[in-house]
Chains A and B, each alone.
Chain A
Amino acid sequence: AQSVTQLGSHVSVSEGALVLLRCNYSSSVPPYLFWYVQYPNQGLQLLLKYTTGATLVKGINGFEAEFKKSETSFHLTKPSAHMSDAAEYFCAVSRLYNTDKLIFGTGTRLQVFP
């Protein structure tokens, strides 16, 4: 069975500070890993994904995540937070060849203070 754990339901940072949102996964088969973002009153939007190949993946809006198999982690980072980054962030995992059935984490709400 697959699962995702997001540490911290709320994260607060100052504008310009590093953003680090944590995600750990459990999977008995090679995982595909994703970060989705949900801005207020909008749907879920794909931020970035890891399928195969390079373990450091870059996404939209300056975000990136690194797949670390040894740590079963896929943490999301951004060097400098912007006010517009305030949103809910969801980590998700799926199985090879069954990528439509995403298993989501509980989400992390990011607040950015001026």
Chain B
Amino acid sequence: EPEVTQTPSHQVTQMGQEVILRCVPISNHLYFYWYRQILGQKVEFLVSFYNNEISEKSEIFDDQFSVERPDGSNFTLKIRSTKLEDSAMYFCASSGRERSDGELFFGEGSRLTVL
């Protein structure tokens, strides 16, 4: 069964360092997302991406964050200069239909720990 894969599963970094989280969405999907969950809090929408551009982003997704789809298969989330409060589980998701009806397919998550 097709699935969304994310790497790394866990990354520890020092505050101020750049981090890139990688995702391989399901191959025929066109819509891509990043969500995150700070420990003990809600899963929060960060950004959606379609046709090689951001279609929507939340207030969390400030200038420190960027996304790209560099090679037609990977979908990456970059945090330029990590802060302690960026520590969270980051989930990538993809969807194949324009009106997904909420059926997003999520990866297992990448846990980011910022020290």
Q: Please list the residues of chain A having a beta carbon within 8 angstroms of any beta carbon in chain B.
A: 32, 34, 36, 41-46, 49, 51, 90, 92, 94, 97, 99-107
Contact = CB atoms under 8 A, between A and B. Distances in A.
Interface of B: 3-4, 31, 33, 35, 40-45, 48, 55-56, 91, 93, 95, 99-109
Contacts of A43: 3-4, 91, 105-109
Nearest 3 CB-CB pairs, A to B? A104-B43, A43-B106, A44-B106
Contacts, number: 65
B108 A100 contact: no
- Interface residues of chain A: helix, strand, loop or mixed (majority): strand
B99 A102 contact: no
A28 to B, nearest CB: 18
B91 A99 contact: no
Nearest to A43: B106
Given A43-B4, A43-B91, A99-B99, A104 B104 contact: no
